[in-house]
Structure 1
Amino acid sequence: MVEQQNTSTFSRNFYRDEPAYRAYLVDGNGKIIWAELIPAHDDKDAMSLIRAMIENHAIELWDRARFITRLEVSKGLCAV
């Protein structure tokens, strides 16, 4: 049996073949002011969850080093 390596992020372990979604709240200057681990199984689920989070700041969705989308406050729509 092959053992999978895992990585730890925000006190949770992720296997290499498992998505590790994070939402970053971004201020008006483009600086990250908060990061949130997103418990989703695919991009579609993760995007649905961050749409519910949007309030006063833009949100960027990432899966590890892969940028997925950015939601803007004024529009609440994806602007990639």
Structure 2
Amino acid sequence: MIDRPVYRAFIIATNGSILRGHVLDCSTDQIALQRAEQLADGCAVELWDRTRRIAVLQSAN
């Protein structure tokens, strides 16, 4: 049995601290990445599936 992914997107402040965390209910990495991009709002975002880091989206500033 394969476990369903548990995606979390962490909004990162310029000093590296976590501002907010979001649980994303998505079926694939690609969908989760698209949702994480929508959350960025000028900040960096790290996307994780449990202990697996999927992506780091750099801030637009």
Shorter chain as denominator, the TM-score bin is 0.7 to 0.9
Aligned partners of 1:29, 1:52: CA distance in 2, in Å? 21
Q: Map 1:1-80 to 2 at 5 A.
A: 17-74=3-60
Q: Percent identity?
A: 31
Structure 2 portions without partners, runs of 5+: none
Kindly provide the CA deviation profile for residues 6-62 of structure 1, in whole angstroms up to 9, marking residues without a partner as x: xxxxxxxxxx71100000001111111110001100100100111111113111000
**Paired residues, number:** 61
TM-score by length of 1: 0.69
Structure with a larger share of its residues in helix: 2
Residue segments in structure 1 that go unaligned for 5+ positions in a row:
5-15, 76-80
Measured in 1, the distance between the counterparts of 2:37 and 2:18 equals 17
Over the aligned positions, Cα root-mean-square deviation in angstroms equals: 1.7
- Structure number with higher relative contact order (C-alpha < 8 Å, ≥ 6 residues apart): 2
Scaled by the length of structure 2, the TM-score of the pair is 0.88
